[in-house]
Structure 1
Amino acid sequence: MANAGGDIATAPIDLAIARIRAVYGGWNRDTTVAQMRSDWDTAFGGSTAPVTCARVSAGGVDGEWISPVDTPLDKAILYFHGGGFRLGSVNSHRDLIAQIALASGCRVLAINYRLAPEHRFPAALDDALAAYGWMLDCGLKPGNIAFAGDSAGGNLALAAMLALRERVLPLPVSAVLMSPWTDLAATGASYITRAKADPIHQRPMILALAKNYLGGQGEPCDPLVSPLYADLEGLPPLLVQVGDRETVLDDSVMFVDKARGAGIDITLEVWDGMIHVFQMFGLTEASQAIASIAQFLNRHLHIKAERASS
């Protein structure tokens, strides 16, 4: 599409891709993990969304309540950020979290779980369970809590629910998974079929992140590491969103197929032309996807109905 000056306009998705590549392009073998994390937070942090942000220790885990005005105090979303268990934080994901909070009318507890390689599996999972337990200790009911997460955070949302089920503890009412990383063995055919379409994530990178998370002794097919290999019976309703340009597309497709076979109420949305966790990038499609997330959350948390009747 040409603009008024005759130049070819850059598509919004290409601008998002350029932002990501600009960060990756500044790294080399000598770049420290600390620098990578700082660069990521600087590139994607910040938000002007009309929410309040309050730091909290959630069962010993650093967290932040992100709350729009007049949200009910008896409902909450527990959010797990992405970043391959190596990068990412509440800072880098604050705007995405705030947009979900605003669209759903629900406050969100987002946590900074421990990252690898300093803290390998199961440190992140332990933190997720501690934060959820803290929410219950604060008086929130499982039926009034939803999980949400993107990429590695989607993995963590699923692993936490599987661990809770193993311990015969109450699960949240539902969960939203954006581009979830469900298979750390990276066996999906989309690693080949989407290799040219995906501008960022290739299989060697995914396997390197998995090794970083597990160390030399970890097993990538452990169900609490890769939920694709778990018995999924008993999980609550799930919404999965993924872009059709992702090499990790099949992490969603295969997981959804398996969940349906286990009788789980699960919805899959594959978004044309979209990249990994496109919901972060202020695109028209991102707004539409977040609206769909809000509808799903409202259906299970009953927020809009209760506010309308109050």
Structure 2
Amino acid sequence: MAAPLDPVIAQIIPLMPMRDPAVMTPQSARDSLRALAASRAAIPPPPVDSVQDIKVKGGAGPLDARVYRAGTTPAPTVVFFHGGGWVAGDLETHDRQARNLAIETGAVVVSVDYRRPPETRFPGAFEDAFGAVRDILDRVAGFGGDAERLGVAGDSAGGTLAATTAIACRDAGIKLAAQLLVYPVTDVRGTYADARENARYPSRAENADGYFLTRATMEWFCGHYLADPAHASDWRVSPLRAASLAGVAPAIVTTAWFDPLRDEGAAYARALEAAGVRVKHHEGPGLIHGYFGMGDASDVARAEAQRARADFKALLARGAL
């Protein structure tokens, strides 16, 4: 039997933004996510040794990025992509996640502010993510310093960008040490509006409403990201649709039990394993989408996120094989 919803998380859900796509606009989504981050200002952020704002090369020009260092010795480098349904989220909304990633893995974390829809639709975010990884690898001496210990990470839509970038890196002959995919979107075909496609993943019905991220909100996100619904079958949107996953970087995949994305994330972990990729899946019992950002309030969320980051750290330490 699945663990019940964490009671602390249950109290948080009514306070979460982006829950009503009927009245949501891209700007209101961005503003509400920013406001949520700002509401935590009284809680000191996890301390790192240094934070530096820089530029990295994206798909069509320079992008804002932020570098977090938790030490001064040579270290792995992790390129991090924030969540927010491709539409919202930025360097500020995911500052604490990036800090925790640097602290708990010992890596130099480069958080990338990719272009967002509707101003830039697919494949803009993917091209930015892949371009940023290539640029950071070219300059790795100025970051962690070890090209054999380069990883990608992201949550939600950022997890999708990390997953698809890992596939693109394999195809380009770039060996990544690891990928951390936090409750990723992995199969957008049908854009969450098609009953037949939704039926493939029971969590889309079980967790359609009531647990922060809703199926209707996912449909809204897809409508803004994809100019053409046919793009949903492209592996750069839906990594589960890739022709082959063999040879991609070892992966840590996390899902949350009370998340409409649970089953497609679990399916991706199984597909990686079937392709011979080393993978570990954390199921997130009692948790909801977004729990990596809830560790200050929920002991359950904090412990689960820490376990995933510890496993990611171990993969980074091994280096690209």
TM-score (ref. length: structure 1): 0.86
The answer to whether the 8 Å contact 1:184/1:207 transfers is no
* 1:76, distance to aligned residue in structure 2 (A): 1.2
Of stretches 99-108 and 87-96 in structure 1, the one that deviates more from structure 2 is 99-108
The answer to whether the 8 Å contact 2:104/2:313 transfers is no
Match of 1:7 in 2: none
**Alignment match of 1:67 (pick from 69, 77, 86):** 69
The answer to whether the 8 Å contact 1:240/1:267 transfers is yes
Distance in 1 (alpha carbons) for counterparts of 2:249 and 2:21: 40
Distance in 1 (alpha carbons) for counterparts of 2:174 and 2:76: 16
Match of 1:3 in 2: none
Tell me: CA distance 1:263–1:48, structure 2 relative to 1, closer, same or farther (3 Å). Answer: same
The answer to whether the 8 Å contact 2:75/2:108 transfers is no
Match of 1:5 in 2: none
Deviations 1:255-309 (A, max 9, x none): 1121111111111111211000211112212321232233223312229xxxxxx
Match of 2:3 in 1: none
The answer to whether the 8 Å contact 1:61/1:130 transfers is no
**Alignment match of 1:37 (pick from 30, 43, 66):** 30
TM-score (ref. length: structure 2): 0.83
The answer to whether the 8 Å contact 1:80/1:149 transfers is yes
Deviations 1:67-122 (A, max 9, x none): 22x24344211101111100101110111111121112222100110001110111
Match of 1:134 in 2: 135
Tell me: CA distance 1:251–1:217, structure 2 relative to 1, closer, same or farther (3 Å). Answer: closer
Letter in 1 for 2:218: I
Tell me: CA distance 1:301–1:71, structure 2 relative to 1, closer, same or farther (3 Å). Answer: farther
Distance in 1 (alpha carbons) for counterparts of 2:168 and 2:72: 29
Unaligned runs of 5+ in 1: 1-9, 304-310
Answer 1 or 2: higher relative contact order, Cα 8 Å, separation at least 6. Answer: 2
Distance in 1 (alpha carbons) for counterparts of 2:123 and 2:272: 23
What number of residue pairs does the alignment pair up? 288
Match of 1:296 in 2: 311
The answer to whether the 8 Å contact 1:27/1:36 transfers is no
Tell me: CA distance 1:218–1:62, structure 2 relative to 1, closer, same or farther (3 Å). Answer: farther
Distance in 1 (alpha carbons) for counterparts of 2:214 and 2:308: 27
Between the two proteins, what is the percent identity of the paired residues? 24
Tell me: CA distance 1:98–1:233, structure 2 relative to 1, closer, same or farther (3 Å). Answer: same
The answer to whether the 8 Å contact 1:171/1:236 transfers is yes
* 1:243, distance to aligned residue in structure 2 (A): 1.0
* 1:25, distance to aligned residue in structure 2 (A): 6.4
* 1:171, distance to aligned residue in structure 2 (A): 3.0
Q: Which runs of 4+ in 1 moved over 3 A?
A: 24-29, 71-74, 139-142
**Residue 118 (1) aligns with residue 119 (2):** yes
Match of 2:217 in 1: 205
* 1:203, distance to aligned residue in structure 2 (A): 2.3
Letter in 1 for 2:306: A
Match of 1:18 in 2: 14
The answer to whether the 8 Å contact 2:207/2:214 transfers is no
SS, match of residue 180 in structure 2: strand
Distance in 2 (alpha carbons) for counterparts of 1:152 and 1:209: 10
Letter in 1 for 2:124: A
SS, match of residue 55 in structure 1: strand
Larger Rg: 1
Unaligned runs of 5+ in 2: 1-5
Letter in 2 for 1:116: P
Distance in 1 (alpha carbons) for counterparts of 2:27 and 2:208: 29
**Residue 182 (1) aligns with residue 183 (2):** no
Letter in 2 for 1:24: M
